[in-house]
Structure 1
Amino acid sequence: MTEQVAARRRKPEPQAARVEELSDSEADSFDEAERKVKEIRKQKAAARRRAEEQDDDYTTANLFVDILRVLSFLFLASCGLSYLISNGETFFWGMSNPPKYLRMDWWKRQINGPIYLTPAELAQYDGTDPTKPIYLAINWTIYDVSANRATYGPGGSYHWFAGCDASRAFVTGCFAEDRTPDMRGVEEMFLPIEDPIEDAKYWTPEELREMRRRERAEAKQRVHEALAHWSRFFAESQKYHFVGYVKKPEGWPKNEPRRKLCDAAAKGRRKRTPPKKDERKDGK
């Protein structure tokens, strides 16, 4: 009994001692497993070295190729975008009339706000100085028309409008004579020519007074619509750009003589059309 208890309390032998007791086949298996572990470690170390060598090769050889690819893509994208924005005009942003957001002067105006010029200052932008833009004004609003220098510059068919507010000429068509924003009396071009003798045959004095009042109101409305048409033309144009405003001279236009209707506009006037027979005052 004492020997059995002592055997149970006896400590297990160390692993090293047990290895010595392994059979030859078991020892060989153990050595083989150890060799496989070492081989796996060697393979992992070799893989790490190859990865490091590949990283070194990329930084020295492939980096230039990748940069070239990126630059080539950006160049092709730029050409395509230029072609789309210019409506097929160019691949290289050399547009004759670039959009306003591609113009430096447009961005300056957005930052600085509209400019205010006196008529004398506006006259300096009539296109005679090639270093300055071409401005015109209509209804006291200034627009940059430099995009069409051949038309508004010296020798152009509409050079009369450059460097001034020629609102009157836009309506009358008298480019040389009416380079002014003074619209007083322009409605006369839409009024009939008075013929007291003929008119008295068909209308009473009261009817004539009412007719003249109505005709003048309609003529002023036609002037307003004609000027508004051209104002909208420049305001909505994609080619011409808003710049600022013209400063009205003090006391204008009372301190200037009233203009006579130009000959070209006056030639369009006609006599009143006689009323139809059932509309005549005497019924005859």
Structure 2
Amino acid sequence: MASPEPAVRRRKPEAKDSSASETEQQLPLKRVQTLSSSESESTSKKTSQPVKKPKSKKKKSKDDVDEYDTANIALDALRVISFLFLASCGLSYLVSNGETFFWGMSNPPKYLTKAYYKELFQGPIYLTPAELSLYDGTNPDLPIYLAINWTIYDVSSNRRTYGPGGSYHYFAGCDAARAYVTGCFAEDRSPDMRGVEEMYLPLDDPAVDKHFSRAELKEMKKKEREEALKKVHDGLKHWVDFFAKSDKYRKVGYVKMPKGWPGTEPRRPLCEAAAKGRKVRKIPGQKDE
């Protein structure tokens, strides 16, 4: 009988050295720690280097700021004042038609006077001929008024002309529409225009009129009167427009005439100066001398 094979002894595995294993296990960690320490050293070196900060602007002190702002404000104010002064001088020169640079006009436009704006709010005034006569310039406390075609104008800005002693004082304190056409300042201080057209009518002369038939003479006289009335209208309109469009004289109101006027007054004769301008008719075929 065969003898049993001896049992093979298995070698017991050697136990690993715990110290070695710990060392091996710690190697990667130490390496990591070594790397991290090196990195930290490099980082610390970087952080240890002084960081260059951007240069900050030097802050101005409060006194410097106040001094700077005050100087600029003063300069800007001087510029504005200079501009306004020059603009005022230029505007004054234009408005006064070259009379002055400093608004010292002897006859300022009506829109530069207080009375002009006062009138806009108060409305027109109404004066009777007797009331209007008080405004002839003899009273220095009252304005000077004149009327033409029943419209009243303030001519106080030209007191030298319309005041006492002035060349046109006859027109102050009344409606002298008739005088504007006839040229008789002293005699025709009246708005009554009846008969004024006669100054443009030819004189009747039997020696001349016999050269025309009765029908021809009648038709001729009709045309002569129409032309004379137109001349009176145009002559008065010239002065009405003069005052209405003037920048010196402003309209203040109207004249209140009595009821039934002018029929309540006698018809005025043609003044001497106007009557002298009348001439006789021309004989047909007669040339002008």
TM over 0.5: yes
Residue 280 of structure 1: aligned partner: none
- Which structure's CA Rg is the greater one? 2
- CA deviations on 1:157-201 (whole Å, 9 max, x unpaired) are 111011111000001111001000000111111111122x31452
Matching of residue 178 in structure 1 with residue 196 in structure 2: no
Aligned mate of 1:262, from 271, 277, 284:
271
Aligned mate of 2:47, from 27, 30, 47:
30
Distance 1:51 1:87, change over 3 A: farther
- CA deviations on 1:193-218 (whole Å, 9 max, x unpaired) are 122x3145212223222222222222
Matching of residue 223 in structure 1 with residue 240 in structure 2: no
SS at match of 2:40: coil
Matching of residue 204 in structure 1 with residue 204 in structure 2: no
Larger displacement relative to structure 2 (169-178 or 198-207): 198-207
Percent identity over paired residues: 61
SS at match of 2:226: helix
Unaligned stretches of 5+ residues in structure 2 = 1-28
Residue 146 of structure 2: aligned partner: 136
Matching of residue 275 in structure 1 with residue 284 in structure 2: yes
TM-score (norm 2): 0.78
- 1:47-86 equivalences under 5 Å are 47=58, 49-50=59-60, 54-86=64-96
Residue 161 of structure 2: aligned partner: 151
Distance 1:126 1:32, change over 3 A: farther
Size of the aligned set, in residue pairs, is 255
Distance (Å, rounded) in 2 between the aligned partners of 1:58 and 1:238: 50
Deviation at 1:63, TM superposition (A): 3.5
TM-score (norm 1): 0.79
Deviation at 1:65, TM superposition (A): 4.1
Distance (Å, rounded) in 1 between the aligned partners of 2:137 and 2:129: 15
Residue 282 of structure 1: aligned partner: none
Deviation at 1:131, TM superposition (A): 2.9
Does the Cα contact within 8 Å between 2:208 and 2:282 map onto a contact in 1?
Answer: no
SS at match of 2:152: strand
- CA deviations on 1:235-260 (whole Å, 9 max, x unpaired) are 12233222222122221111111111
Letter aligned with residue 283 of structure 2: P
Distance 1:19 1:193, change over 3 A: farther
Residue 5 of structure 1: aligned partner: none
Distance 1:58 1:19, change over 3 A: farther
Distance (Å, rounded) in 1 between the aligned partners of 2:198 and 2:37: 127
Residue 243 of structure 2: aligned partner: 234
